[in-house]
Amino acid sequence: MLNVQEIQVRSVLSRSKLPGIDFVINPYRGCQHACVYCYACFIQKFDGHTEPWGTYVDVKSNAPEILTPHLAKCHDRKVYLSSVTDPYQPVEAEYKLTRRILKQLIPFQPHLNVQTKSALIVRDIDLLKQFKNCSVGMTVVTTDENLRQEIEPGASTIAARFDALKQLKAAGLETFIFVGPILPYLTGWKQIVLQTHPFVNYYLFDHTNPSGRIWNHIQAWLASKHPDLLKRYETVLLGRSDYWPQVSRAIKTFCESEKVDHRIFF
């Protein structure tokens, strides 16, 4: 059961701690995609919710209104949607906060970066095309739909994400795929690139972060679905291992040989 409630917030535009990004906008708090590896679950320490991560969404219903006085700050600056929620999670179809925010941003022409796991983004191609500098991307952790249902039960199917990327690219937008987190022994990063390279401009790769509550979620998922991998994950994520250096070298070698624009964050 999803718990959705409308809340009033005092701010929605935040200075970013992400490299290369000036501001972030999060229209929602929480996310119904319910990804088992989600790093944003740390906000449960501050949001007052006791429900399991992925079962609640706070809708910042006044977000467009409180953004209005601060829009000028976004002119020619790098703005990211979104850092601790998905701007196109299913509730966006009803509340349209992301769409309303995009409309407000157009006159100020920020360098816009939008990242999602939802094919709903194609609804807003008409707005995204009005930004002179706009990069839109999908997070893709696997091409295996069965695995996707295990780890991202509320997100769009992989096929729907790939189709959305094709539409975004055909509309003249710059597209990217965030391959992250790479789940050891499960994420076929090479297959992701090979299946999408014709309609993706660049790729971002990141490792699995086991900090805070994330490891508890991953551990419970592995124990239920992939118990044979549990010990190997403990070694890779919590112990001493050369797994990530090996993966990083393999990605670099492959992408350079295939002339794939890429960035590795580990």
pLDDT digits (tens, 9 = 90+) for 146-170: 999 999 999 999 999 999 999 999 9
At 46, is the pLDDT very low, low, confident or very high (cuts 50, 70, 90)?
confident
* Res 259: pLDDT: 97
Cα–Cα–Cα angle for 31, 33, 37, rounded to 5 degrees = 95
Query: What's the burial of 229, exposed, middle or buried (CB within 10 Å: 0-12/13-18/19+)?
Result: middle
Q: What is the mean pLDDT of residues 70-80?
A: 96
Q: Which of 169, 117, 174 is nearest to 140 (CA)?
A: 117
Cα-only R_g, the chain? 18
Check residue 248 and give left, alpha or beta (phi > 0: left; psi -120 to 50: alpha): alpha
Domains within the chain, CATH numbers bracketed: 3-264 (3.20.20)
* Res 44: pLDDT: 80
Which tops the pLDDT comparison, 168 or 51? Answer: 168
* Res 17: pLDDT: 86
Contact residues for 159 (Cβ-Cβ < 8 A; gap 6+): 145
Q: What are the phi and psi torsion angles at 155 (to 5°)?
A: -90, 170
Retrieve residue 22's tokens. Answer: 């000036």
Q: What is the mean pLDDT of residues 210-232?
A: 96
pLDDT digits (tens, 9 = 90+) for 21-41: 999 999 999 999 999 999 988
Contact residues for 86 (Cβ-Cβ < 8 A; gap 6+): 28, 31, 33, 116, 117, 118, 155
Q: How many CA atoms lie within 13 A of 200 on its CB side?
A: 26
Q: Rounded distance, CA 50 to CA 176, Å?
A: 34
* Res 149: pLDDT: 98
- Quote the mean pLDDT of the chain: 96
* Res 207: pLDDT: 97
CA distances 133 to 22, 55, 77, Å, are 14, 34, 10
* Res 25: pLDDT: 98
pLDDT of 63 above 90 = yes
pLDDT of 19 above 90 = no
pLDDT digits (tens, 9 = 90+) for 105-147: 999 999 999 999 999 999 999 999 999 999 999 999 999 999 9
DSSP string, 95-147: H-HHHHHHHHHGGG--EEEEEES-GGGGGGHHHHTT-SSEEEEEE---S-HHH
Cis bond leading into 61, ω under 30°?
A: no
